[in-house]
Amino acid sequence: MSMKRTNVYADPEDLAIIKEAAARRGVSEAEIIRQGIHLAAMANRVWDEPLFSRAFEGPGRTLPRSQVRDTVADAVRRETDTGSAA
């Protein structure tokens, strides 16, 4: 992967934390900063598709955890059964 150089201003306290983390993890400070940039980029990305593209049938009220699990499992089973018949 090619990299592009850039300059940023950072708070000295943040840089001290990065320095400590890099030493503790045995990686360069630049690697910690690259990871932070990647996380910030992904957190602010606008996705082309919605996170959930499917809806599951339900009673229209908040279900207990066990019913959510069962509803999702039933939907997956139906989808799997339909896919295997093709």
Q: Which two tokens stand for residue 46?
A: 């606008």
Residue pLDDT, tens place only, 58-84: 677 787 899 889 988 988 888 888 665
Residue pLDDT, tens place only, 3-41: 999 999 999 999 999 999 999 999 999 999 999 999 999
Rounded Cα–Cα distance for residues 14 and 24 (Å): 15
Return the CA Rg of the chain: 23
